[in-house]
A and B are shown apart, each in its own frame.
Chain A
Amino acid sequence: MKKSNMGKKLKPVLFHLFAATVGFFMVYPLLWTVASSFKHNSEIFVNSYSLVPERWAIAENYTTGWKGISGISFGTFLLNSFIVSALGTIGGVLCSMLAAYAFSRVKFIGRNFWFMCVIITLMVPNQVMIVPQYIIFKRLDLINKLQSLIIPWFFGSAFFIFLMVQFIRGIPVELDEAATIDGCGKLSIFFRIILPLLTPAIATCTIFSFYWIWQDFFQPLIFMSKPKYFTVSLALNMYLDPNSFSNYGALFAMSVVSVLPVIVLFIMFQKYLVEGIATTGLKG
C-alpha cells in the first residue's frame, strides 16, 4: 500500500523534473537572446556566459532598435510581417484544406497524378526556383508589393495538403457513408463531418504557416525593394554589417520583439490541439 502511494507521488515529480530539464535546454538560446538584449553592446560577447547583465542597457537597446531603418520604425516591419503572415495563413490553410479533401475523399480523373505533383513541389530546393519566380512576378508587375508575398499562399501549400490528406484518411469512411445516406453532398460532408474532426490538424497548420511565413527571409529579400514593405525577417538582417560597427544590442532586442507574436499565437492556438473534438468513433 505504502509503495504504490509513494509511486503515485513520485510519478508527477519525476515527470516535472524531466520535462523541466528538457524544457530548459529547449529555451536556453531564447533566454540568451533576451539576456543579451538587456546588455550593453560592449558586454554581449565578452560576458557571454552569464545570463545577467553587468551593465544594463534595456532602454537603449530597445529604443535604438525600435527606431528601425531609414526612418521607418520597427513597428512598420512588424505590421507588414503580420499582414503577410495572417493573410497568407488564412489563404494557405483554407486552400490546402479544400485540396486535401479532394485528394482524399473525391474520386476524380487524374487525382493520383496531381497528388504526385504536390509531392514533387516539396522536393525542389527553393534556391533555384526563386529567380524564375521573381521574373514571373515582375512580368505580372507584382514586385515590391506585399501581395507578391501573400498571393502564392492562396494557392495552398504542398506541406499542408499532404498533412491534411493523412489526417483525413484517419477518419472512418463509414461516417461519410452515413452522411451520404442522409442526403448530404460532397461539400456538406466536408463541412459537417470532416472539418470538425480536422480541427487539431487545422490548428497545427495555422501555427506552422504563420511561423514559416513570419520568419521567411529569402522570399522577401528577393521580392521586396522598398523598405516600407520590408518584413521583420528582412529588417533584422539589416542591422548587421560585418565590416562596420553592428549594434548587436538593438538587433537582439528586436529579435526578441519579433519572436513574441509567434509565441503568443502559439499559446492561443495550442488549446485547439488539446481540446481536439474527441471522436465518438464507430459503435461496436
Chain B
Amino acid sequence: MKLLAKKRKNGIENLTGYILILPWLFGFLLLYLVPMLSSVYFSFTNYNLLNEPKFIGLDNYRRMLFNDPTFWKSLGVTFYYVFALVPLRLAFALFIAVLLNTKMKFLGVYRAAYYIPSIVGGSVAVSIVWRQMFGNNGVLMSFLKLIGIHQEVSFIGNPFTAIWTIILLGVWQFGSSMLIFLAALKQIPQSLYESAMIDGANMWQKFTKITLPMLTPIIFFNLVLQTINGFRAFTESFIVTQGGPLDSTLLYVLYLYRRAFTYFDMGYSCALAWVLVGIIAVMTLLIFRSQTTWVYYESKEGE
C-alpha cells in the first residue's frame, strides 16, 4: 500500500515537474538545441554564410591552436578581464547594496542613479564619454597632472592600461548585481537580526554571521553569472576600443564576431564559440563544486 502511494506520489511529481518546465523545454529544443547542434557542425566546416558549408574536419581547431596568435591573445585578454572584473564588481555591488539597505532619505534616488549606468550601457554616448574621460584631455589625465604625475600616452591609447578602461566600464555597471543583492537582503528575516541584537552583536558581527551566510546563495548566483557573462563580454570593447590598441582589449567574443561576420569565416567562428563554451563550462563546474564548502542553503533539498 505504502509503496503504491509513494509511486503514485512520484508519478504526480514527475508530471507536475514536466508540465511546469514544458514551455522552457519546448523553447530549448526548438531554439537552442537545433542551433547549437548546427553550430557544432559548422565548426567542422569551412562556411562563409553565403554558400554551403564544406566539411574540413578538425582543420579549424588545428588552425586555432597552432596557427592563430590572435586566438591566444584574445583568450589571455579575456581571462585577465574576468579575473579583474568579477571580484571588483561583486565586492562593489555588495558594499553599495549593504550601504543602501538602510533607512536614509533619497534612497530611491540613489538606487536609480546607480542603476542608470546599466541602462545606458551600450549606447553611443557611453563610448564617446568613456574615450574622452580616459583620453589625452580627459578628466583622469587632468587629475593626474594636478597631483604631479605626467603621462605621455593616455590610458586608453596605452596597450598596457587600455584593458583597465574596459574593466572599469564593467565595474561602473555594477547596478544590476547591486539590485540582485538588494533583493536578497530584503529576504533575510528581520527576526534573525533582532535576536542577534538581543544577544549583543555589533554591526560587523551581524554582517559576517548573519548577512553574509544568508547571502551566499545569491553571491554564488552572481559569481556564476558574472563569470559567464565576463567571458561573453562583447559590447564594451566593441563600442569603446574596437579591440585596440594592438589587440590589448580584444575580448574573445569580439574576435569571434569579427571572424563570423567581417571575415566571412563562420565555421572557424563556431569552433571558437565551442572552445569558449568548454572553458566556461569548466570554470562554472569548479564554482558549482565549491558550493558545498561555502554556500548555505535554507532548504537542504537536492543540490
Contacts and interface: CB of A to CB of B under 8 A. Distances in A.
Whether the complex brings A and B within 8 Å at their CB atoms is answered: yes
Interface in B249-272: 253, 256-257, 260-261, 266, 269-270
A281 B116 CA distance: 34
A207 B17 CA distance: 27
A169 interface: yes
Contacts of A32: 125, 128-129
Given A136-B31, A263-B119, A124 B36 contact: yes
Interface stretch (A1-9, A67-75, A127-135): A127-135
A108 B136 CA distance: 60
A23 B126 CA distance: 16
B117 to A, nearest CB: 5
B24 A161 contact: yes
Count class of interface residues, chain B: 35 or more
Nearest to A152: B31
B150 interface: no
Contacts of B114: 22-23, 26
Contact of A127 (B175, B231, B256): B256
25 contacts: A15-B102, A26-B116, A29-B130, A33-B123, A48-B132, A99-B20, A99-B21, A102-B18, A102-B21, A122-B228, A124-B32, A128-B35, A166-B218, A170-B218, A173-B299, A204-B179, A207-B179, A208-B179, A255-B125, A262-B119, A263-B112, A266-B119, A267-B108, A267-B112, A280-B189
Q: What 4 A-B pairs have minimum CB-CB distances, sorted nearest first?
A: A155-B27, A108-B17, A281-B189, A276-B186
Interface of A: 12, 15-16, 19-20, 22-23, 25-30, 32-33, 36, 48-49, 95-96, 98-99, 101-109, 111-112, 114, 117-125, 127-129, 131-133, 136, 152, 154-156, 159, 161-163, 166-173, 186-187, 197, 200-201, 203-204, 207-208, 211, 215, 217, 236, 240, 251-252, 255, 259, 262-263, 266-267, 270-271, 273-274, 276, 278-281
Interface of B: 10, 12-18, 20-21, 23-28, 30-32, 34-36, 38-39, 42, 49, 96, 99-100, 102, 104-126, 128-130, 132, 172, 175-176, 179-180, 182-184, 186-187, 189-192, 214, 217-218, 220-221, 224-225, 228, 231-232, 234, 253, 256-257, 260-261, 266, 269-270, 273, 276-277, 280-281, 284, 297-302
